[in-house]
Amino acid sequence: MVDVSEKPHSFRTAIAAGKIKIKRATANAISRNRIGKGNIFATAQIAGIQAAKRASELIPLCHPLPLSNVEIDFEMKNGVVSANCTARTTAQTGVEMEALAGVAIALLTIYDMCKAIDKEMEISGVRLVKKEKRLV
């Protein structure tokens, strides 16, 4: 684990993004809320937030952080669901892993909820889009 005890606390934000390619029929089922497991986006949002909050339990040597906010949002267009996760904290280390965990688990949740009707889904492009730090 990296020693951050001498670093000052700062306000930190990280934004991660990713996408999942789905069939047109799957997109239609999602739009009509006809997925057997329930509301895809509400469930994926909660799962992503939980993952961000538990990133230090999932990733060895990742510092546990007091998250002040996690937001997950989705856009569905042309057979692709794009997801973004914004995580914020005031801490001595960055919040990138929390944002990445949030978006990855949100996409995996969509995959899990739709796998019965779409065997060809593809998750891709999970990446850190932006990170900011400013002194408190």
Active-site residue set:
112
Read off the DSSP letter of residue 59: S
81-115 core/surface letters (b: 16 or more CB in 10 A; e: else):
bbbbbbbbbebbbbbbbbbbbbbbbbbbbbbbbbe
Q: Kindly state the DSSP code that residue 130 receives in the 8-state scheme.
A: E
In this structure, the number of other CB atoms found within 10 A of the CB of residue 51 comes to 24
Can you tell me whether residue 118 is helix, strand or coil?
Answer: coil
Q: CA 25, CA 106: separation in Å to the nearest integer?
A: 20
